[in-house]
Amino acid sequence: MKPTTTYLRPPPGYHFRRPWYFRPWFYIPAAILVVVALFVTVFFSSVVFDLQAQANSFDLSKLEQMESASVILDRNGKIFGQIYVENRETVPYEKLAPDLINAVIAVEDAKFYEHHGYDLLGIIRAALKNVTAGHVRQGGSTITQQLARNSFSLKERTYRRKLLEIFLAKRIEDKFSKQKILQLYLNRIYFGGGMYGAEAAGRGYFGKSARDMTLAECATLAGLIKSPNRLSPWSDRTNSRETRDFALDRMRDLGFISREQCAAARAEKIAVGSRQNAQGQTYAVDYIRQQVIAAVGWDRAINEGYRIHTTIDVNLQRAAEDSLKAHLEQAEQHPNYNHQTYAH
């Protein structure tokens, strides 16, 4: 006897309904989203691949290639002039004051020792502010990213440039130690007044080398990095002092200095040298510059970082030039003087 087969039949009036995920109102938008997501993924991947290839094409040895000014010293070994295109004197890490290093980290990149070239949270925070502003205002750049930007002239303010900067910063972190990155950074960046690097800035603003600066002087340099010309103590003493105090407060909050050190540095009155003395534009310097260029050539004079020792007594030289200027001014004021003036 054959088994009987029973078929279940829907009750009268029943209409089959397809699952919700088979309905047009769901699967058509879902399919569009999948296609869009696939397109975005392919596009973003191609951009990333292109930027990685571009970052890999940069020669990282150029990070260490910086013009270094030749310095002119008087009979006592004191610098009184330089030969340069960029006013810079490169120094090793050991000749940078620890307070300067800590001040720069506190102001520019508090997570410097933790990240590998870029700070993701910092970038997201800056991106949100940029979206609100409608254009690129903040970069969220680490010290390593700033080094990459300044070394390879990545000045364009676009998101593509920012991504390239990140990939390049990762390469720099892979190749160099944190100490080396700080050394390269502090020798390269601009500190206002035509001065590049901490050594030139220390001598220009305070008349001392980068390793001999006080805590307050170190904080002053760290505070002006974001806007060197505007925040220079030569341009605006009030703003310069405010950014110095901000740097000191950041150092205190991060544990680099104590409350007592912070208060003492805030109270310190910093003696800032004159711009004219820093630039060393004198008759003697001009004459020595001409002689050196004639002897070794222009390129070597501005790039090799020579230390040119002379027998000049800078105080006597300054007195002689002041006397010459006074006599020129007197002669130029004569009613019958009708030649080019030199004293002004």
Q: What is the pLDDT of residues 247-257, one digit of tens each?
A: 999 999 999 99
pTM (global) more than 0.85: no
**What is the model's pLDDT at position 325?**
76
Higher pLDDT, 197 or 24: 197
What is the mean predicted confidence (pLDDT) over 241-268?
A: 97
**What is the model's pLDDT at position 267?**
96
Least confident of 66-70, 229-233, 299-303: 299-303
Cβ contacts of 305 within 8 Å, gap of 6 or more: 68, 69, 70, 71, 89, 90
In a domain, 83, yes or no: no
In a domain, 248, yes or no: yes
In a domain, 306, yes or no: no
For the chain, the average pLDDT equals 83
Top-confidence range, 30-39, 84-93, 99-108, 190-199: 99-108
Q: What band does 3 get if pLDDT is binned at 50, 70 and 90?
A: low
Residue 248: which domain range?
97-279
Cβ contacts of 78 within 8 Å, gap of 6 or more: 314
**What is the model's pLDDT at position 133?**
54
Q: What band does 340 get if pLDDT is binned at 50, 70 and 90?
A: very low
- Position 168 pLDDT exceeds 90: yes
Residue 325 class from Cβ within 10 Å (0-12 exposed, 13-18 middle, 19+ buried)? middle
Alpha helices in the chain (DSSP H): 24-56, 98-108, 120-133, 143-151, 159-175, 178-188, 198-206, 215-223, 228-231, 237-253, 259-267, 275-279, 283-296, 298-303, 314-332
Residue 14, SS3? coil
In a domain, 26, yes or no: no
What is the mean predicted confidence (pLDDT) over 155-179?
A: 89
Q: Which two tokens stand for residue 14?
A: 């029943």
- Position 47 pLDDT exceeds 80: no
Higher pLDDT, 13 or 212: 212
Q: What band does 343 get if pLDDT is binned at 50, 70 and 90?
A: very low
In a domain, 259, yes or no: yes
**What is the model's pLDDT at position 139?**
54
Name which of 304, 249, 299, 251 is nearest 98 in CA terms. Answer: 251
**What is the model's pLDDT at position 276?**
60
- Position 339 pLDDT exceeds 60: no
**What is the model's pLDDT at position 254?**
97
* H or E element at residue 309: strand 307-309
In a domain, 173, yes or no: yes
CA distance 174 to 97: 25
Q: What band does 277 get if pLDDT is binned at 50, 70 and 90?
A: low
- Position 125 pLDDT exceeds 80: no
Least confident of 8-12, 93-97, 110-114, 313-317: 8-12
What is the mean predicted confidence (pLDDT) over 186-215?
A: 93
Number of structural domains, the chain? 1
In a domain, 290, yes or no: no
Half-sphere exposure of 225 (CA within 13 A, CB side): 29
DSSP state of 63: G
CATH code at 265? 1.10.3810.10
Higher pLDDT, 99 or 58: 99
In a domain, 52, yes or no: no
- Position 36 pLDDT exceeds 70: yes
How much of the chain, in percent, has pLDDT values that exceed 70? 79
Q: What band does 53 get if pLDDT is binned at 50, 70 and 90?
A: confident
